[in-house]
Homo-oligomer: A and B are copies of this chain.
Amino acid sequence: VTPIRVVQWGLGAMGAGMARLVLSKPGLRLAGCVDSRPDLAGRDAGTVLGTGPLGLPVSADPARLLAEQRPDVVLIATTSWLAEQMADLETIVTAGADCVSIAEEMAAPAVADPALAERLDKLARAHRVSVVGTGVNPGFVLDLLVVMLTGGCHEVRSVEARRVNDLSPYGPTVMRTQGVGLTLAGFAAGVADGTVAGHVGFPQSVRMISDALGLGVDRVEETREPIVSAVRRETPHVVVEPGMVAGCDHRCVGYRGATPVIRLTHPQQVRPDLAGQATGDHIVIDGTPPVHMTISPEYAGGLATQALAVNLIPHVRRAGPGLKSMLDLPVPAALMGEPAYLRQP
């Protein structure tokens, strides 16, 4: 078996985890790492990853690295936004490599920018490579899994999914974008000026579900409400006193005309357990037959995003050329041993 040669672009918390996972899989070979941070350029990637020396210097010149290494696949973890990632995606595609991105907007890129999505699709077809966006959410829990659970339904009237998680492991950036530790007035001001953004990816998840089922959603509404804590909650990065905001109860509804057909809810907060709230994922299909699913505790966030990107490698290799979504590919599977598809390039 010839291992699949992989370049990891972006060595933040997600990207570093993806690179370490690539290193752990016998069917994959880490062929290089890219990061734009000046303090990383030229350092041995293994030192940065904490795995011991690998003889792979971190490159700040991705076009050159890709031309020299000619990897089969590039995993990119640099930003949530399509517009910010577009030039890098074009570099990857032009170099003739398949690409897996964990940018949230890449789960359904036409939502953010149909013109960019079309340009990327055409470029990928021209270079005979495939590009796909994935991640735990959007890309898996609140969309792909919802779609799959309707597979046994004769009819679906509406779907509802709720993901309750604990933000405690995260640092200052997440605390700020979720409004953790703010007063009620501060939270309202943050929502108004966009600094309290909540979850990135609801419109993408709604689009994926609506397109897959043909639910005809023509309007999406998002609301962000403060989760006011009745108790003191503390993490290494924040203290929330009673009466302060512990997180953002972010909801999204997809309407077909006046009818709500998709409801997604993702309250994100620190230490929900202290308020008697268990974490978990809950999907309800109002259909014939109905479906009620629970994953408890919730499907892991960061770890799952890293794994999904790496586990998709065989799928993106086998996909036909163009811009793909998780709805176009076979179900992802953990890559243990030598999965059958590593033997079928």
Contact = CB atoms under 8 A, between A and B. Distances in A.
Interface of A: 21, 24, 136, 140, 144-145, 147-156, 211-216, 287-289, 291-297, 299-300, 303-308, 311, 327-340, 342
Given A150-B333, A340-B212, A289 B303 contact: yes
B211 A340 contact: yes
A251 B52 CA distance: 45
A155 B334 contact: yes
Nearest to A337: B214
B214 A331 contact: no
B150 A304 contact: no
A101 to B, nearest CB: 16
30 contacts: A21-B154, A140-B152, A144-B148, A148-B332, A149-B295, A149-B299, A150-B332, A151-B304, A152-B305, A154-B307, A154-B334, A155-B334, A155-B336, A212-B340, A213-B333, A213-B336, A214-B336, A214-B337, A214-B338, A214-B339, A215-B337, A289-B303, A289-B304, A292-B295, A292-B296, A293-B293, A293-B295, A327-B330, A327-B331, A331-B331
Contact of A330 (B300, B330, B334): B330
B215 A308 contact: no
A151 B211 CA distance: 22
Contacts of A149: 295, 299
A262 to B, nearest CB: 12
Closest 8 A/B residue pairs (Cβ): A152-B304, A151-B332, A214-B337, A214-B339, A289-B300, A150-B334, A148-B331, A212-B333
